[in-house]
Structure 1
Amino acid sequence: MKAKPGAVLTYGALAVGALITLFPYYQLVVMASNTTADIFSVPPNFAIGGKLFDNLREVFSKVDLFGSVLNTLVVAVATTLLVLFFDSLAAFTFAKYDFPGSNVLFGILLATFVVPTQLAAIPQFTLMAKIGWVGDLKALIVPAAANAFGIFWMRQYAKGAIPDELLEAARVDGAGFFRTYLLIGLPVLRPALAFLGIFTFVNTWNDYLWPLVVLIDSNHVTLQVALSMLNGAYLKDYAIVMAGTLVAIVPLVVVFLIGSRHFIRNVAAGAVKG
């Protein structure tokens, strides 16, 4: 059976797009497995070298990579779980329940998008200092337990995805608010939760500024802060930095693969049922 020209062009475009997307990751492996001199050689070097394990040993000798990965994993997992719970709960309420002041409250919530997160660093640090959380991982987890973007995203999804008839049926059966949220809201919101989970985990994992500020004079160091310590004051060993970066992106790739499969599977299931 002969392939249609349109299909050939489509698959060809997808293949080119995949190569363009994956090339920076391949180049990261190349840089992490060579020396800094090899990285800046002319012509450019695109071959994977044999220095990867030497560079990784150098990384582990300079920073506590295992400790920083563990700290970041604790913060990222805890923050993601809290965001998924609180944001979906608030979004379900805004989307499907009318209560006095709901529109005003949601408008104030959207207004927080206008304020850059950097402006909140000083008052947030002052608050953390007053309650004694400076230098503690709680200062990274609790302030990030809910966010306006997640509530907005989940609300927009819930408004169209959750039929009002299901909620009415649940009320007739005597289900309360929280039971309705658990048994009706959450199953329908799974694709949106998968996206929000990936988005939150990646952002938390890559956060640098707030951990650098609030974990000052602390034994707790997150991964991005640890990687910044690989940079020398006068000389940068790019091969070492890239080796550390390679270790840092492995959990992100795993989370993306797991989360994206869950997201696509639930979207496809919803499309078939519809």
Structure 2
Amino acid sequence: MSTPRLVAKIEAEEPTLRLAVLIDADNAQAAVIEGILGEVARFGEATVKRIYGDFTSSNSASWKKVLHKYAIKPVQQFAYSTGKNATDSTLIIDAMDLLYTRRFDGFCLVTSDSDFTGLATRLREEGLVVMGFGENKTPDAFRNACHKFILTEVLRPTQPEPEKVSDPKTEAAGVAAASGTTIRVTTAATPEKPQLPRKFMLSALEQSSDESGWAHLGTFGSYLTKLQPDFDSRVYGFKKLSDLVKSRQDIFMTDERTVPGREQKQLYLKPR
């Protein structure tokens, strides 16, 4: 269940959580580090940024290029034996050392490895906010051990659309059409977005609504995270939860209400 501190910091204008960002180099991608740190900045300040792995290995080459740029402290860990992951143990020991300093409000664990489920659970037992970052393959056990889990796929930088140039295949197809010859041209398939979990969202809306049946967007979003820590509107193609709600008028009714004494408006919704 999400802690009141996490919800308060999410809704606050200035994030103040002191966070320790710990990265498992063996189970994380360097290509998304900018997106991860940007996401962390939404919730608080990354007071500590450390990455754990064997940086003498060629597999860590991509990480070496970004460590200085983002001021991430590398913690070298040699593999003691084949098939054993010494990196996990080092990260967990460091996390517990940082925990007992009592200087942090939360931890950000960047990994797709379920072996850190116990660590996430232990940190939560101490009343700290735990945020997880991992790929879609991350097991549910680790996802649900976090207050909030964010898929790194949605944090990948978008590639600019290439300029239109003459396509040899298209030209060949035109020549073939003129000559009566058939040429089969294949294109790369675009990955489909997952289907919106309508039943789950309506269940969260029911729990977050008041006696009139209306729910504040912030309260609704908080319940979504409580029920499913890895829920993220960006997975379904929407930058914000408000954009998702407004686009699905077949499911939700929306009402923008003016806050008394302020020009700001707040969004409320109810099932249609």
Q: Which bracket does the TM-score occupy, shorter chain normalised?
A: under 0.3
| Higher share in helix | 1
Q: Under a length normalisation based on structure 2, what TM-score does the superposition of the two structures give?
A: 0.21
Q: Under a length normalisation based on structure 1, what TM-score does the superposition of the two structures give?
A: 0.21
| Higher share in strand | 2
